Structure formats: C-alpha cells, structure tokens
C-alpha cells in the first residue's frame, strides 16, 4: 500500500482525498495557506494536488525534496515548470479528460449562438428592437468546421458536430492518422482554405503564444467565425479586433482572454486595453468568463481521472 503525504493546494472534489486516504496516503488540506507556512510539510510531501493558486517553479519544487508527483486538476500546465519537475523524476499529471465534455458543450453553444445571432437578438429585444431580418441565421449543416487541436476536447467537439450533418476537418501539429467517419484530417493550409468556422483547442506554451495572429487570420480564404475555449494567450486580441473590423472574421466567441491572471481572473474590466473594450461592445462577439471548463460536474470528473492516474504510478 502506498504511503506518504499529499498536500492539496486547492480544494478538490471530496472524491479525490477520500480515495487517496483509502489508498494509504495522508492527505492534508492547504487551500488558503501561503507558501511560507507550508515549508515544513513540503519537505516531506510525496504529492501535490493543485489547480492554479501557486506557480510551481524551480524554487517551489526545490522546497519539495521528496516529491513524486504533481496532479493538476484541469488541463493547462503553464504554471508548472514541467521540464524541471521531470528532470527530478517527478511525474506531472493533469486531467484533460475531465473537461472534455463541458468544454465541448459550451463550444457548441457558442457556435450555434454565433450562427443564430442569439446574443445580438437578445440585446436588441432588451432595447425594444424587434429585427428579424438582420438576425437571419446560417445553418450549421451547410458549413465546414475546422478544429485546430484534436486532443480530448477537439475530438469531443467533432463527436458532437457529427450529429449536425456539417463537414468537419481538423489539424493537429502533433497527431497523425486520426481521420475517421466524423472528421477529416487536414493540414493547417487546407483548413485555412476551406473552413467557415474555426474552433481552437490547443494547450498554451511558449511556442503557441499568439498562435492565432495577424498572419494566420488573414491567411484564411473565406470570411469565417472564430471560437477560442482553450487559452487566452494563444490569440492576439488586437489582431482579432482588426480582422473583425475588416470583415475577415465574421464573429468571435471567446471563453478565454489574454488578459487573464494565473488564477483565470482579470482586473476591473473597464481597465482592460482597447481591444477588449471593442470586443465587449461588438454585437457579433460572445464573451464568457473562462467558464467552459467550470460545470457543476467537472471537479468530480477531474478527481476521478487524477485518482486513476495516481494509482497507476509506480510505488
């Protein structure tokens, strides 16, 4: 039976500490404690469970000489020095499988919202405007949807799109041979030539900073709709605004912003830069506060995924 101390730096679903305790671990809750008060326990910690409260850089990891694993409740690992952890033999786990359904569902909702002008029509009715003509919809089944990033969430989006009768194409920098009856594997250049709607599902790292930039946006052959439920820093917001103004981007739906802090919060919205102020007023833009992966069910899903992965680690 495994033994050792696991420190939960952020509050998990109860399933996670319950199962790890049953497996033989000592589990300590440290949901609000600062780093300094944790130093002594970090010395003997076997594992860390977190979401986004701390940056696990080299200095933090050096305070954990007995650490065997880091378990991130969620997808992004941008606040963990993964290379240094792995050089120390520390397993770095995350749980993208836990978010796949909730993010895919919100992506579909945003996509349908853009094509059916739901946000715009709702706001107009609130203002006493009944305008049917300018809110005439576009049917999804006649569109080609391009998915950038065909991992857990990208494939879940493709699965849901298969019921709408539209053509689905996907590009993934790292995967090959994933095409099937639901999705056609294509190059990025082909996706730019053929997509009417683009939805982005790639992780953030230094190589992906502003992956969606001016050059990529202007490289699309047709005007298109853009959705980003991945990470804010993947998208150059100012470039998006320019392409919305030019008509190259017909509309956008963003659950993430490049202005977010590590804990997915932002400063007072009125203080954010001009590109955001344009987006918040644009009738063809849908914005949500990084909630695509925040369903009522998702924390239990993350917990179950991580417990399974921790149990698979060599003792």
CA distance 248 to 243: 5
Selecting among 51, 68, 117, 290, the annotated active-site residue is 290
Selecting among 13, 72, 143, 231, the annotated active-site residue is 231
CA distance 157 to 104: 5
The CA–CA distances, whole Å, from 273 to 237, 240, 268, 278 equal 10, 14, 11, 9
Q: Is 202 exposed, middle or buried (0-12, 13-18, 19+ CB in 10 A)?
A: buried
CA distance 167 to 146: 9
159: how many CB neighbours lie within 10 A of its CB? 15
290 annotated active-site:
yes
Angle between helices 96-115 and 118-126 (to 10 degrees): 60
Catalytic residue positions, numbered: 231, 260, 290
């Amino acid at each position: 039976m495994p033994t050792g101390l696991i420190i939960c730096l952020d509050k998990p679903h109860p399933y996670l500490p319950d199962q790890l305790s049953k497996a033989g671990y000592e589990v300590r809750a440290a949901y609000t404690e600062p780093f300094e008060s944790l130093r002594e326990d970090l010395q003997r910690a076997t594992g860390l469970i977190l979401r986004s409260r701390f940056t696990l850089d080299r200095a933090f990891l050096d305070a954990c000489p007995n650490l065997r694993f880091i378990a991130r409740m969620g997808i992004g690992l941008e606040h963990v020095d993964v290379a240094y952890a792995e050089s120390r033999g520390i397993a770095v786990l995350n749980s993208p499988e836990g978010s796949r359904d909730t993010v895919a569902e919100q992506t579909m909702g945003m996509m349908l919202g853009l094509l059916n002008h739901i946000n715009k029509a709702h706001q107009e009715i609130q203002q006493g405007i009944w305008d049917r003509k300018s809110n005439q919809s576009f049917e999804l089944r006649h569109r080609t949807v391009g998915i950038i990033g065909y991992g857990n969430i990208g494939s879940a989006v493709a699965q849901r799109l298969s019921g709408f009768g539209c053509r689905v194409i996907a590009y993934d920098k790292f995967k090959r041979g994933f095409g099937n009856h639901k999705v056609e594997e294509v190059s990025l250049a082909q996706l730019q030539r053929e997509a009417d709607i683009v939805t982005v599902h790639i992780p953030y790292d230094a190589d992906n900073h502003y992956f969606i930039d001016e050059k990529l946006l202007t490289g699309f052959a047709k005007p298109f709709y853009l959705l980003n439920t991945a990470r804010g820093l993947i998208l150059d917001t100012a470039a998006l605004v320019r392409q919305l103004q030019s008509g190259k981007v017909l509309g956008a739906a963003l659950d993430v912003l490049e202005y977010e802090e590590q804990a997915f919060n932002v400063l007072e919205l009125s203080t954010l830069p001009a590109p955001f102020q344009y987006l918040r007023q644009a009738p063809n833009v849908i914005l949500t506060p990084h909630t695509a992966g925040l369903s009522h069910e998702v924390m239990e899903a993350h917990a179950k995924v991580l417990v399974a992965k921790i149990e698979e680690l060599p003792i």
